[in-house]
Structure 1
Amino acid sequence: MSSAKSYLTADERKIFYSSAGGWGLDAMDICIFSLVIPSLLAAFAIGRGNVGILATAALISSAFGGWLGGIISDRVGRLVVLRWTIAWFSIATIICGLVHGYTTFLIFRILQGFGFGGEWAVGAVLMGEIIRSELRGKVVGAVQSAYAIGWAVALLLFSSVFSLFSGPDAWRYLFVIAGLLGFPLFVMRMRMKLPADYLARMDIARRAHQQASVSTSLWDIFRGPYFSRTAIASLMCLGIQGGGYSLTVWLPTFLQQTRHLSVLHTTGYLSVYVAGSFCGYLGAAYLSDLIGRRIKIMLFAAGALVIVVSYLSLPITNGMMMLLGFPLGFFMLGIYSGLGPLLTELYPTRLRGAGQGFCYNFGRGIGAVLPAVVGFLSLTLGLAHSIVAFSGACYVLVCLCAFLLPETTALKLETREQEDQLFLDGRRRTAGEHMPPRETADTSRISSPKI
């Protein structure tokens, strides 16, 4: 991560740390929820299916929150949305640690989802727009590695809190601490300023669209050249996130209830998994720029498929399972690096928040159903076989979709503005409208960000 941020200016480093902090908190929340599932089963006297509903409900609400956040960010600005998503997330997370009763907890998990849904979608758009094309994969991928740090912090808090507080309410402290950690990020974002070069480029794109005299609709992501991109990218995001959630949500429960490991032993196994994910995020970030977004995604999807089947289906010892945790985290979570830049490079400025937000959060929303399905299906098939069935199908889907998408590595975002202008001109001609002469925005004199 340090080598990537060394290219950035002071203002860009603040955005880098701010996005990394938000994504780390997102990962921390997912990890904390997964770790306390056994405690929630006892605290609320519920079954696995009900816990699956908790996970699914939060992820579905985060999908809506992410898409809505992307749409709003196209209109009011990326940074404005990022300030309020972190505040919303923090307050809802603290309340989750204080409520009593399954239904109340479910309501606030849903509300919490709206907050952290916008973190990835809007943060990835902002980082993708600021970083120049030849470094976009490395830098955005380095921010993605904050997910591994979030998992590591969650594991540290989990082992510490459950060692200090052995009572049935120990899990509540974790949610309260996670929520409190969001407020320093809110303060940072309130003081943050966007780079001047970035603001200049966004102003050029905005003026070019105004000159086109065509109204923007969020439904444009389903029209013209954007329809096939949106459809394929959404299915790819479904495969990536569905495959990940099927395992991630249930892995701590699998280790404790199927492999009969204690809380401390579970933390050790998950630490190897998190270390692998950190290396995967950084390795995939560099591969994304080196060999291309699509090939990197297909490579990591195939690796994740092989490791998930080996990890859960083969008759291996606990020691071998711990060793396999490293490549499991490397491939299954490293696949996310390069996803943000790829989605950013599919759309013009006026549609980028809506398009990227929809694709990622379509995957998050539909993929979020899988933990609940796995929970109910595990009652008949067993937990391991249920996870393998859904994760395997998801990673096959990822390979197919990545193959069908265009390669966008090192694409200059100005190319999408030119393409969009042709699309808007064609729409005007189809509607039979008069096209007044206009000046073409000269982007050649706007320098790339000094990173």
Structure 2
Amino acid sequence: MEKVLEQKSSYLYLVLIAAWLGWVFDGMDAMLYNIVMYPAIHDLLGVSATKAQIGYYGGLVMSCTLLGAALGGILFGILADYIGRVKVLLLTILTYSLMTGLSGFAHSWQELALYRGLTGFGIGGEWAVGAVLLAETWPDLRRTFAGSFMQMGWPVGFFLAAAINFLVGTHGWRVVFFVGALPALLTVFLRTQLKEPEKWVRDHARRCELKLTNKYETEEDKEYCHFTFRLLFSPKYIKYTIIGFLLSAVALFGVWGATYWIPAIVETLARSAGVAESAIHGRIFLAITLLNIGAIIGALCFWPIANKFGRKGAFLFYFLTGLILIPPIYINAKDFNLFLMLVPIIGFIGNGVFSGFPIYLPELFPTKMRATAQTTCYNGARLVTILSPFFTGLLIGIYHGNFSYAAATIMSVYVIGIITLLFAPETKGRSLPE
């Protein structure tokens, strides 16, 4: 009996490490483009390219990545409900790895945009499918720890991307992308070690039986067998779909608005403080490092907070502290060293709240539509939050170039999150719905 329990515990951690590594490499491949965007676009446009052109076309390529992530996430989520969590997880990792590698062969910005868009397909799908696999494998009382640990992988991926650029970046941006293809090797190992969750296996068997006999007891059974996506908007589930979407949109809109302009603010403060031009990039790197340290701590802290105060209580903590603490940090961003000291708080709140989604979203929907629901809520929100940098840019114009005031104003989005929580169900202590 003890040996069986030990084997089961070992498998739980194998699934956790697999989902975590998938998310680490997801973050890494996403960040690699951000790091090499300038030299890559400059090279593809030619030596006569201006900074404005590099920024414009670089932004278009980034938009293709974000759009691919949103659409690919929804597609892979639906697929995971029909053919299995493990199969689709491996497919997403393979997709973003190989497309990152192919990015190194691009000969035009349009070709790079295509490869990055397909990279986004894998990036968008991996998180939700990995989170569902984790939720359906880990026991109810320990699921908050697993979800928080998995979410911590994204900022770790950012560090890994920076390390790759540091180690091989001198050989050119193409080599950086080639190294980004290495996570594909992870799928070879995972394919032999992982198995589909029992919850999905039972549900899939029922789906196959209904299709075989063609005897549907309810209209929901029919939708469930043919197109799960429509169930999200049925009277039974639409409330949870709206709640999941709004919470995801608030968190995504908040983190883009809060963190996107940190490099610009740091550069402005550094110049005001008389920091040498050659040292400014180092200060920006330091700020991003501190932001990600705060993000890692924030991700891990969601676990004990959710266990103590419930899922809604944990979301409320992050939204409320974001609303109270982040605006004063930005509005009073006048001292360079003080701002650097406070940057981890922004990472803790803005990024830490995302640990709630691999925990809470799977608890809102039954097995038959869990992956579809998770990816649609989260990636549907991504489509909306693509506008966040644009909206922040408009605010910068209104505030006459003041990045700090614009970022502070964006934080009011957390009010929507707090209102949404009033209608959200508490799922602490409940088993995953079947």
Return the alpha-carbon distance in structure 2 between the equivalents of residues 390 and 219 of structure 1: 36
Number of the residue aligned with 2:274:
none
Number of the residue aligned with 2:28:
28
1:130 to 120, 132, 137: 137
Return the alpha-carbon distance in structure 1 between the equivalents of residues 404 and 336 of structure 2: 18
Instruction: Please identify which structure carries the higher helix content.
Output: 2
Amino acid across the alignment from 1:404: F
- 1:179 maps to 2:181: yes
CA contact (8 A) 2:326 2:408 kept: no
Number of the residue aligned with 2:414:
395
> What SS is found at the alignment partner of 1:337?
helix
1:238 to 227, 233, 249: 249
Number of the residue aligned with 1:220:
231
Q: CA deviation at 1:312?
A: 3.1
Number of the residue aligned with 1:346:
364
CA contact (8 A) 2:200 2:367 kept: no
- 1:313 maps to 2:315: no
> What SS is found at the alignment partner of 1:335?
helix
Return the alpha-carbon distance in structure 1 between the equivalents of residues 328 and 383 of structure 2: 27
CA contact (8 A) 2:250 2:413 kept: yes
CA contact (8 A) 2:73 2:128 kept: yes
Number of the residue aligned with 2:240:
229
Which deviations, in whole Å up to 9, do the C-alpha atoms of 1:349-397 show, x marking residues without a partner?
1111111111011112211232344457656743715751663143222
C-alpha change, 1:294 and 1:55, in structure 2 (3 Å) is: farther
Amino acid across the alignment from 1:11: Y
Amino acid across the alignment from 1:117: G
Return the alpha-carbon distance in structure 1 between the equivalents of residues 402 and 296 of structure 2: 26
CA contact (8 A) 1:374 1:383 kept: no
Return the alpha-carbon distance in structure 2 between the equivalents of residues 34 and 254 of structure 1: 18
> What SS is found at the alignment partner of 1:404?
coil
Give identity over the alignment, percent: 24
Amino acid across the alignment from 2:27: A
Return the alpha-carbon distance in structure 1 between the equivalents of residues 298 and 149 of structure 2: 10
Return the alpha-carbon distance in structure 2 between the equivalents of residues 255 and 401 of structure 1: 33
Q: CA deviation at 1:134?
A: 1.3
1:271 to 289, 303, 307: 289
Amino acid across the alignment from 1:188: F
C-alpha change, 1:315 and 1:347, in structure 2 (3 Å) is: closer
Return the alpha-carbon distance in structure 1 between the equivalents of residues 412 and 41 of structure 2: 28
Which is bigger in relative contact order (C-alpha 8 A, separation at least 6)? Answer: 1
> In angstroms, what is the RMSD of aligned CA positions?
2.9
CA contact (8 A) 1:129 1:198 kept: yes
For structure 2, the 5+ residue unaligned runs are 1-5, 272-278
Once the two structures are superposed, the pairs formed by residues 255-266 of structure 1 within 5 Å of their partners are 255-256=266-267, 259-260=270-271, 262-266=280-284
For structure 1, the 5+ residue unaligned runs are 1-5, 418-451
C-alpha change, 1:55 and 1:374, in structure 2 (3 Å) is: farther
C-alpha change, 1:288 and 1:123, in structure 2 (3 Å) is: same
Number of the residue aligned with 1:302:
320
Number of the residue aligned with 1:438:
none
C-alpha change, 1:404 and 1:396, in structure 2 (3 Å) is: same
Once the two structures are superposed, the pairs formed by residues 44-443 of structure 1 within 5 Å of their partners are 44=45, 45=50, 46=53, 48-161=55-168, 165=170, 170-180=172-182, 182-194=183-195, 197-198=198-199, 202=203, 206=207, 213=217, 214-215=221-222, 216=224, 217=227, 218-256=229-267, 259-260=270-271, 262-374=280-392, 378=396, 381-382=400-401, 384-385=403-404, 387-388=406-407, 391-413=410-432, 416-417=433-434
Q: CA deviation at 1:78?
A: 0.6
C-alpha change, 1:22 and 1:388, in structure 2 (3 Å) is: same
CA contact (8 A) 2:26 2:96 kept: no
Amino acid across the alignment from 2:142: L
Return the alpha-carbon distance in structure 2 between the equivalents of residues 282 and 192 of structure 1: 26
Q: CA deviation at 1:228?
A: 1.2
Task: Report the more deviating stretch, 188-197 or 107-116.
Answer: 188-197
CA contact (8 A) 1:96 1:105 kept: yes
> What SS is found at the alignment partner of 2:381?
helix
TM-score if structure 2 supplies the norm length? 0.83
C-alpha change, 1:125 and 1:10, in structure 2 (3 Å) is: same
TM-score if structure 1 supplies the norm length? 0.81
Q: CA deviation at 1:174?
A: 2.9
Return the alpha-carbon distance in structure 1 between the equivalents of residues 417 and 163 of structure 2: 32
Return the alpha-carbon distance in structure 1 between the equivalents of residues 210 and 314 of structure 2: 34
Which deviations, in whole Å up to 9, do the C-alpha atoms of 1:78-112 show, x marking residues without a partner?
11111111111111111223323332222221111
Amino acid across the alignment from 2:356: G
The total of aligned residue pairs comes to: 404
C-alpha change, 1:160 and 1:399, in structure 2 (3 Å) is: farther
Q: CA deviation at 1:330?
A: 0.9
Q: CA deviation at 1:175?
A: 2.6
